[in-house]
A and B are shown apart, each in its own frame.
Chain A
Amino acid sequence: MNDANPGAAADGTASPGLSLTSSGSGGLQERLIGWVLFAAAATSVAVTVGIVAVLLGETVGFFREVPIWDFLTDTRWTPLFSEKHFGILPLAMGSVMVAVGAGVIALPLGLMTAIFLSEYAGDTLRGILKPILEVLAGIPTVVYGYFALTFITPAIRSVLPETDVFNAASAAIVVGLMILPMVSSLSEDALRAVPQSLREAAYGLGGTRMEVSLRVVVPAALSGVLASFILALSRGIGETMAVTIAAGNLPNMTLNPLESIQTMTAYIVQVSLGDTPQGTLAYRTLFAVSSALFVVTLAMNVLSQWVLARFREVYE
């Protein structure tokens, strides 16, 4: 930091004089740089436009051949078989089952972790625990898949032997572990942003630490906590590799977590790995399923931002 500045300053003293004498070309250069930087920022919009255009283009083609009503209500998904059905419900249900199962694990654990880190742990303990949770958040999803297949699934099968080798429960547990650090870190940020004066007032009234945490701090940070819940569930819906590895590739309209299922994301991977020719209906299913995935996760992200803005408690 400090060693970089003197050199930069020495460099800088020479150039202002230059720009004063030749302000014309300096102005042009300034404007040019402004435009180049704007172009870089505009790239991000181009990415969104690209995603929407690509998804929309092929999805419209898909719905020319498959009625949208069938897509949303048919309970079978067999686009690669000879008797074709294009009902997304089994895939959607698989995704929802994994995300909800992961949420059941990660939301309470994540919130309790956040409360513990923010309200109970001292600086030293926090300094040790937070980096550990950050490492957990940085583990690639394919490694979580390995963990599910070689550790969680055998553990489940040793208790419940009739469980399928690929099953939704194993995927839900591993996705729960994966989104746990996200919930705990975002919730903790929200809890720590609650002003200290609120806590002190509550302690002054004789509250115990639990009462202060649950009745003052968490309600005051509720918008941030809820937003973290929604974001984590959205991540669970969009999670791909761990789910593909652990839950299997069987579109299955079931609520039994011990059976093999297929999520929307796992289907996308399955088709990408095969050699489905471009332009066929099977190829277009890729985009139709991706569109559904994109719309659902985008809606959840927008919802979380809305919750954050709408229910924010403003202090000072």
Chain B
Amino acid sequence: MSRLGPLGTTPTPRNLRRRVLGAAFAGVGAAATLVGVLALVVLLADVVRDGVGQLDLDFLANFASRIPGRAGIRAPLFGTLWIMALTAAISIPLSVGAALYLEEYAPRNWVTRVIQVNIANLAGVPSIVYGILGLAVFVRWMSLDRSVLAGALTLSMLVLPVIILAAQEAIRAVPGSIRNAAYGLGATRWQVVRHHVLPMAAPGILTGTILALSRAVGETAPLIMVGAVAFIAFTPTGLGDPFTVLPLQVYDWIRRPQEEFRLLAAGAILVLLAILMTMNATAILLRNRFQRNRP
């Protein structure tokens, strides 16, 4: 692509102005892009400066305490791991099943269109509205109370449309020739899906799933609605136990006026970010591997 058109080479005053204007525009574009990058750098620096001093084994091993020096994140750390595992166990089969139905099984009729439009719209519903759903349906109606199961079910509903959309995209990327070849050999629809479509789409599905789960791990508002509480001095041992998660512990510490709790919040944020970065790095590695091996 040429930097300037042929007219730009004639040094008339008008072309000079166009050239200067163009350079200024490029500068503005670069500056705008830099704002996002700088925001991330400043945000991370802000958290690291306050939080890095908090990180030690006691901080990970201790329960929350009214005395800042003794407070730790054992309960929310375990709660986050519980929520992550349960949400994955509930949401992955549901959303991959839904995506397989829409891409491989669904007839082209109005029911399918309704489901598809519905999924697109669900993806835009604010997370706190899912909290209301969780409160009314899981906590109250199904009497699950403020349990880790109620929290995981709520977050599963939240990530469902996100994973379905990602899985659909991965399934659509499997070449039709593969399906035709398998059908030609006499395979049934499920055999085609089970042995060819699903294995080929798996890395793409997994990438989308990990990204969606990392969103669930960072969620606070829906879990406040279903009644997760910050001050808990035990870790969950079963599906019916009360729980707390890292983002909620962060929020609880931010709300306190004392400076020490604010530092604790920064420490918990660092642990939360470390978990999220690990998840995202896994997703990126999978994506790269997938792209390289794609025929």
Contact = CB atoms under 8 A, between A and B. Distances in A.
Contacts of B50: 150
Interface stretch (B54-62, B63-71, B233-241, B247-255): B247-255
B4 to A, nearest CB: 6
A231 B123 CA distance: 11
A20 interface: yes
A8 B178 CA distance: 13
Given A40-B101, A294-B129, A12 B37 contact: no
A50 interface: yes
A82 interface: no
Interface string B138-152: 001000000000000
Given A147-B46, A209-B22, A273-B224, A132 B128 contact: no
Nearest to B121: A301
A184 interface: yes
Given A142-B218, A143-B47, A117 B33 contact: yes
Contact of B189 (A13, A30, A115): A30
Nearest to B43: A147
**A: contact size bracket:** 35 or more
Contact of A177 (B39, B127, B129): B39
Given A37-B100, A140-B218, A180 B28 contact: no
Contacts, number: 304
Contacts of B218: 138-143
B61 to A, nearest CB: 23
B81 interface: no
Contact of B126 (A12, A36, A297): A297
A204 B236 CA distance: 67
A151 B262 CA distance: 12
A245 B251 contact: yes
A44 B220 contact: no
Nearest to B102: A41
Nearest to B101: A37
B227 to A, nearest CB: 8
A61 interface: no
- With a 10 A CB-CB cut-off, give which of B6, B25, B202, B250 has the most chain A CB atoms: B25
A280 interface: no
Given A12-B191, A208-B4, A50 B121 contact: no
Interface in A84-139: 108-109, 112-113, 115-117, 120-121, 129, 131-136, 138-139
Nearest to A208: B22
A41 B95 CA distance: 7
Contact of A5 (B129, B130, B164, B200): B200
Chain B interface size, under 10 / 10 to 19 / 20 to 34 / 35 or more: 35 or more
Interface string A6-37: 00110111011001100000100110011011
A45 B114 contact: yes
A26 B189 CA distance: 11
B14 to A, nearest CB: 11
B251 A142 contact: yes
B186 A16 contact: yes
Interface of B: 1-8, 18-19, 21-22, 25-26, 28-33, 35-37, 39-40, 42-43, 46-47, 50, 93-98, 100-102, 105-106, 114-115, 118-122, 124-133, 135-137, 140, 157, 160-161, 164, 182, 185-191, 195-196, 199-200, 202-203, 211, 214-215, 217-221, 224-225, 227, 247, 250-251, 254-255, 262, 265-266, 269, 272-273, 276, 280, 284, 289-290, 293-294
Given A4-B200, A143-B250, A206-B7, 4 more contacts: A51-B125, A144-B43, A206-B6, A238-B127
